[in-house]
């Protein structure tokens, strides 16, 4: 007779490996489940693309949860509210064209929307390298985040993708790896990661969206990763630019994949 213990364990193992197996060859691999990566994942999955999102932390959501200085409210400006309306996240009008959003509802809403649209989210998985073949970024090298954190000598596994989106936030990790290890020059003012400039909210919000683009064949950037790669200003706890960047990244990738 099968015991409850055996059934529960087999359910988890079988379903996890089904999920992993069906996401080894992707249309789009997204690194980092911050706001820009989650919006991009949701939009691309809703457009019928095979999408997986790899997040190093246990909880997806990136910098959303903490609002500003751990006060869990974030501010979103008018042009980005359409994204939140699509996700049925509640917004509360403030003054000057701004609205506030409960940070926990925003994080939960972004995660739920991406998952519900069909994007697979692999949490506690770290991206430690890229696949670089025929002069394009062609996939990701992944490992369990605790393995990386404990510096265990364990070889990783690989997923292939037609497009890779760096949504890793401030460190722009995937873009950095591509420049360093593949020795490529990317579409930024210096050909590499320029780095973040000091706080200037208005400029930072604008440059986040402007610098959301394909940096090299197969490699796209969104959110703070895009902003930092191109040398944009810091903007702090205003999130409209991140949401619009995710939407723009999804649209650019979808167009390129369908061309």
Residue 24, SS3 per DSSP: coil
- Binders of ligand 48F in range 149-168 (CB under 6 A): 167-168
Distance, CA of 124 to CA of 167 (rounded, Å): 16
Chain residues 190-219 in contact with ligand 48F, contact rule CB under 6 A: none
Number of shown-chain residues binding ligand 48F (CB under 6 A): 27
Length of the chain: 259
The DSSP symbol for 154 reads: -
Which of residues 7 and 16 has its CB atom nearest to ligand 48F in the complex?
A: 16
Question: At closest approach, how far in Å is the CB of 141 from ligand 48F?
Answer: 10
- Sheet with 92-93, edge to edge strand ranges: 73-77, 98-102, 92-93
> What is the number of other CB atoms lying within 10 angstroms of the CB of residue 236?
12
223 binds ligand 48F per the rule CB under 6 A: yes
10 vs 180, beta carbon nearer ligand 48F: 180
x/- contact string, 72-111, with ligand 48F (CB under 6 A)?
----------------------------------------
What gap in Å lies between CA 127 and CA 143, rounded to an integer?
Answer: 7
Helix, strand, coil share of the chain (percent; to 5): 40, 25, 30
Q: Which residues within the stretch 31-70 sit at the binding site for ligand 48F (CB under 6 A)? A: 31-37, 54-57, 62-64
Binding site for ligand 48F (CB under 6 A): 31-37, 54-57, 62-64, 126-127, 167-169, 173, 223-225, 235-236, 239, 242
């Amino acid at each position: 007779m099968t015991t409850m213990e055996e059934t529960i364990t087999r359910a988890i193992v079988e379903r996890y490996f089904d999920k992993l197996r069906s996401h080894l060859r992707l249309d789009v691999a997204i690194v980092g489940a911050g706001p820009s990566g989650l919006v991009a994942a949701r939009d691309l999955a809703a457009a019928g693309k095979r999408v997986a999102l790899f997040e190093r932390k246990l909880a997806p959501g990136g910098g959303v949860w903490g609002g500003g200085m751990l006060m869990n409210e974030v501010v979103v400006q008018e042009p980005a509210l359409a994204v939140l309306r699509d996700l049925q996240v509640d917004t509360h009008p403030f003054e000057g064209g701004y609205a506030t959003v409960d940070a926990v509802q925003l994080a939960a809403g972004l995660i739920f929307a991406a998952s519900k649209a069909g994007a697979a989210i692999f949490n506690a998985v770290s991206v430690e390298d890229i696949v670089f073949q025929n002069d394009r970024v062609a996939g990701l090298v992944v490992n369990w985040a605790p393995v990386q954190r404990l510096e265990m000598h364990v070889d990783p596994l690989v997923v292939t993708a037609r497009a890779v989106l760096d949504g890793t936030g401030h460190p722009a990790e995937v873009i950095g790896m591509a420049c360093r290890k593949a020795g490529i020059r990317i579409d930024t003012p210096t050909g590499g990661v320029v780095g973040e400039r000091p706080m200037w909210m208005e400029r930072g919000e604008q440059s986040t969206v402007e610098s959301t683009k394909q940096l090299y064949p197969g490699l796209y950037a969104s959110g703070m990763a895009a902003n930092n790669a191109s040398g944009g200003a810091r903007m702090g706890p205003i999130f409209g630019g991140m949401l619009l960047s995710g939407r723009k990244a999804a649209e650019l990738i979808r167009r390129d994949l369908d061309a």
